[in-house]
Amino acid sequence: MDNLTKKSFYDETHTVFGHHESKLLQWIFTIDHKRIALLYLVVMMAFFIIAIFVALSMRMELFAPGQQIMDPNTYNQAFTLHGVIMIFLFVIPGIPAVFGNFLLPLLIGARDVSFPRLNLLSWWLYMFGALLAVMSLFVGQGFADTGWTFYAPYSVQTGTNVIFALTAAYILGLASILTGINFVVTVHRLRAPGMGFFKMPLFVWGLYSTAWIQILATPVVGITLILVILERTLGIGIFDPSKGGDPILYEHLFWIYSHPAVYLMILPAFGVVSEILPTFCRRTIFGYRSIAISSAMIAIIGYLVWGHHLLTSGMSEWAKIIFAFLTFFVAIPTGIKFFDWVATMYKASIIFATPMLWVVGTIITFAIGGLTGLTLVTIGVDVHLHDTYFVVAHFHYTIFGGVVFMLFAAMHYWFPKFTGRMYCERSAKKAFYGIFIGFNTLWFPMFLAGAYGMPRRYFDYLPEFEIYHKIAGVGAVITIASILYMLYILIKAIKNGEPCGNNPWNSTTLEWQISSPPPLENFKNIPYVDFMPYEYEKGQPKRDLTKIIEGGNHD
């Protein structure tokens, strides 16, 4: 059956009101989860590219000591812009907004999410927040210069467009909350009959844990940002020491969300690893239950550790000890996942297709990132390393080397499902190696620079640090060029790729049992699921559900 002539979700859709002739309106008013996922993907990637060029301009400025291409105030705005776009417009929507939206219903055997119109509203709120952030670049004193963390009292006093940025972040938070609500209810209500919680694919576990964090943590930063706006406009006083207020309280409130936020970023990424590994190791995942439970544990313990961002802020000693201890503790479920993954690969007949390469790359880079996190949370060591390039390297190794690498892996793994075509494997592998090499050239020197004392967010530096910045600058160019090359390959393959069937990777999960690209309502017949998600026998999927799903009822 030639998939390219079958009707797919590209040909027909449901919209939120009325019927539209215009193709554009059919896209921006769609309530089909698959189209909404693609709407997110296009806008997110556009912002990603903008943000990496902002970063490139920062690297160019820092290529040598002294001023190169921008003045110090502009530099502050640059790193704020880079952070705000990357965090709020790219990584937090991230994998859930694109791959969660597209795949969650498919993985659990549903026809859509529980609240399709709320899903569309999420995207519109995302666009609105993005618009506000962009607008603030061009009015008044320009974009905020506080860093993406908006610490009081500077965020209360500076003349740049902080209120714009805070309002944008608040609205983006609303979009995130709605996605979270949608996913929790979908997982509870729309699983195919027979699919208990411990028969769900592990990506679903990751999305479910993430959704809870989106619901419970985001409102805290929402109200915090509003409080800063009230401080700026009304002078309430809660972060102002001259009125008895406490800036450290701001840090508490901000990080009560922002730390769980990074687990919100990484849990879906871990879920992607757990999907890709069984497919390319041709065997079931090792320790399914422990990986599932560890997702929930990371989400829960992640609520307890925010203070490790405040270890040098002037917090009480007791608080520091509690937070450091709990942070060491949260590394344990993550470690369990890593051991399970390595055990899955051990003695397996591994196919090193591009998605698998990305997974192996992440296992290396996230391990480095995660372990350096433990270095940072050792209280005495943090006194030396806090606010240095060591921190910058740590979070780029975890966020870029963990989350974004897995976003790239997911883009390659599910590309055939989204488009019905395959990309050029050789070129994609070249892009991976380019990015991997560029990534390590860019950020590994920063561990050293930070340990030797190079502060972060600094416009200028002493000559002894110049060599690290130069190496990083070269790494930045390699990384960005390779990312653009990777995107070019994928975009080219949308039109020119080799047509592939339903299941080019010969995988077992439900999304591969329907056509590529999927039809509008996903499954003709929803199957009864009384089996585990990754069952392989002698390297082949144990069962073929296509007949059930496409044809008559189970016989």
Partner 1 sequence: MSTVTHDMTAEMYLKIFVVLIILTVVTFLQPYVIPGTISDTVVAQLFIAVIKATLIGSYYMHLKYEAPLFRYIVLMALVVLAIFFIITASDAIFRNESFDLFQ
Partner 2 sequence: MTETTSPEIIYDKEGNAHEIVDFNDDYTGSKLGFWLFLFTELMLFGAMFLVFSFFFYRFSNDFVVASDNLNLVLGGINTIVLLLSTYFMGISLLSIRQNNIEKSKKMIYITIILSIIFLTIKYFEWMAEIHHGIYPDSQALNALSHGEILFFGLYFTMTGFHGIHIIVGIGVMLWAVKLINNKKITAQKYVVLENIALYWDIVHLVWVFLFPLFYMISFGGAS
Interface positions with partner 1 (CB under 8 A): 188, 216, 220, 248, 252, 256, 303-304, 307, 314-319, 322-323
* 406 near partner 2 (CB under 8 A): no
Nearer to partner 1, 120 or 217 (CB): 217
Residue 115 interacting partner from partner 2, partner 1, none (CB closer than 5 to 8 Å by kind): partner 2
* 96 near partner 2 (CB under 8 A): no
Cα angle: 255, vertex 224, 135; to 5 degrees: 105
Asked if 430 contacts 365 with a C-beta cutoff of 8 angstroms, the reply is no
* 189 near partner 2 (CB under 8 A): yes
* CA distance linking residue 306 with residue 394, whole number of Å: 16
Could you tell me the smallest distance in angstroms from the CB atom of residue 249 to partner 1?
8
Nearer to partner 2, 44 or 92 (CB): 92
Question: Which of 395, 432, 394, 402 is CA-nearest to residue 338?
Answer: 402
Write out the H or E segment, with its range, that includes residue 504: none
Residue 243 interacting partner from partner 2, partner 1, none (CB closer than 5 to 8 Å by kind): partner 2
- 498 beta partners: 422
* CA distance linking residue 53 with residue 213, whole number of Å: 30
Neighbours of 422 (CB within 10 A): 17
Write out the H or E segment, with its range, that includes residue 238: none
Nearer to partner 1, 50 or 319 (CB): 319
Nearer to partner 1, 325 or 488 (CB): 325
* 113 near partner 2 (CB under 8 A): yes
Q: Which residues of 230-240 are buried (b: 16+ CB within 10 A; e: fewer)?
A: bbbeeeeebbb
User: Pick from 96, 116, 416, 504: which binds partner 2 (CB under 8 A)?
Assistant: 116
* CA distance linking residue 134 with residue 106, whole number of Å: 34
Residue 333 interacting partner from partner 1, partner 2, none (CB closer than 5 to 8 Å by kind): none
Neighbours of 32 (CB within 10 A): 28
Structure tokens belonging to residue 474: 């070269």
Output phi, psi for 30, to 5 deg: -70, 150
Task: Say how many Å lie between the first and final Cα of the chain, rounded.
Answer: 22
Nearer to partner 1, 188 or 384 (CB): 188
User: Which residues inside 231-290 make contact with partner 2, applying CB under 8 A?
Assistant: 234-238, 243-246, 249, 253, 256
Could you tell me the smallest distance in angstroms from the CB atom of residue 47 to partner 2?
25
Residue 1 interacting partner from partner 1, partner 2, none (CB closer than 5 to 8 Å by kind): none
Residue 50 interacting partner from partner 2, partner 1, none (CB closer than 5 to 8 Å by kind): none
Residue 307 interacting partner from partner 2, partner 1, none (CB closer than 5 to 8 Å by kind): partner 1
* 188 near partner 2 (CB under 8 A): yes
* CA distance linking residue 86 with residue 400, whole number of Å: 10
Residue 318 interacting partner from partner 2, partner 1, none (CB closer than 5 to 8 Å by kind): partner 1
Could you tell me the smallest distance in angstroms from the CB atom of residue 110 to partner 2?
7
**Interface mask toward partner 2 for 501-540; x: CB under 8 A:** ------------------------xxxx-x----------
Could you tell me the smallest distance in angstroms from the CB atom of residue 307 to partner 1?
7
Residue 245 interacting partner from partner 2, partner 1, none (CB closer than 5 to 8 Å by kind): partner 2
Stretch in the footprint of partner 2 (CB under 8 A) among 77-85, 212-220, 277-285, 421-429: 212-220
Could you tell me the smallest distance in angstroms from the CB atom of residue 326 to partner 2?
18
Residues in the interface with partner 2 (CB under 8 A) total 51
Question: How far is CA 400 from its chain centroid?
Answer: 9
Could you tell me the smallest distance in angstroms from the CB atom of residue 165 to partner 2?
20
* 179 near partner 2 (CB under 8 A): no
Residue 163 vs residues 91, 477, 490, 542: alpha-carbon distances, Å:
22, 33, 38, 56
Write out the H or E segment, with its range, that includes residue 36: helix 33-61
Give one DSSP letter per residue of 389-455, joined into a string.
Answer: HHHHHHHHHHIIIIIIHHHHHHHHHSHHHHHSEE--HHHHHHHHHHHHHHHHHHHHHHHHHHHTT-B
**Helices assigned H by DSSP within 312-378:** 317-345, 354-377
* 553 near partner 2 (CB under 8 A): yes
User: Pick from 201, 222, 307, 369: which binds partner 2 (CB under 8 A)?
Assistant: 222
Stretch in the footprint of partner 2 (CB under 8 A) among 47-55, 114-122, 377-385, 477-485: 114-122
Maximum CA extent, the chain? 76
Report the residue count for the chain. Answer: 555
Nearer to partner 1, 187 or 273 (CB): 187
User: Pick from 45, 137, 216, 481: which binds partner 2 (CB under 8 A)?
Assistant: 216
Residue 185 interacting partner from partner 1, partner 2, none (CB closer than 5 to 8 Å by kind): partner 2
Could you tell me the smallest distance in angstroms from the CB atom of residue 256 to partner 2?
8
What is residue 339's three-state secondary structure?
helix
> ω before 268 within 30° of 0 (cis)?
no
User: Pick from 35, 76, 88, 112: which binds partner 2 (CB under 8 A)?
Assistant: 112
Question: Which of 298, 295, 104 is CA-nearest to residue 204?
Answer: 104
Structure tokens belonging to residue 25: 């309106």
- 143 beta partners: 161
Could you tell me the smallest distance in angstroms from the CB atom of residue 164 to partner 1?
28
Nearer to partner 1, 317 or 555 (CB): 317
Only one residue has tokens 């490790």, namely: 308
* CA distance linking residue 271 with residue 405, whole number of Å: 13
Give the footprint of partner 2 on this chain (CB under 8 A): 110-116, 118, 177, 180-182, 184-186, 188-190, 192-194, 215-220, 222-224, 227, 230, 234-238, 243-246, 249, 253, 256, 525-528, 530, 553-554
